[in-house]
Amino acid sequence: MTDLDITRVRDYLLGLQDRIVTTMQAEDGKPFVSDGWTREPGGRLEGDGLARWWKRATCSSAVAATSAT
C-alpha cells in the first residue's frame, strides 16, 4: 500500500468512526471518551489511532503498518 492509499483509508475510517459516534451520541445523549494513541516506527506495528467509548460500546479506528520480517 502506498502512503497515499494509507492516507485515504485512514481518512475514510476516521470519518466513518466520527459519523457513527455522532449518530450514537445524538440518539443516546451521552458523550464518548476519546483516546488517541501512537505506536513508534520500527516495531511490529507502527502508526496511530483513535479509540472512542462509552459505557455500552467501543468504536475504534486504527491505522497501523506492519514491518516486514
> Strand 33-39's sheet: what is its strand order?
33-39, 45-54, 57-66
Q: What is the pLDDT of residues 9-56, one digit of tens each?
A: 888 988 998 999 899 889 888 888 888 888 888 877 788 888 887 766
Cα gap 30→54, rounded to integer Å: 8
Burial (CB < 10 A; 0-12, 13-18, 19+), residue 29, is: exposed
pLDDT at position 58, please?
A: 57
pLDDT at position 66, please?
A: 46
Asked whether 63 and 50 are in contact (CB, 8 A), the reply is no
Predicted confidence (pLDDT) at residue 59 exceeds the cutoff of 50 = yes
Domain residue extents for the chain = 3-66
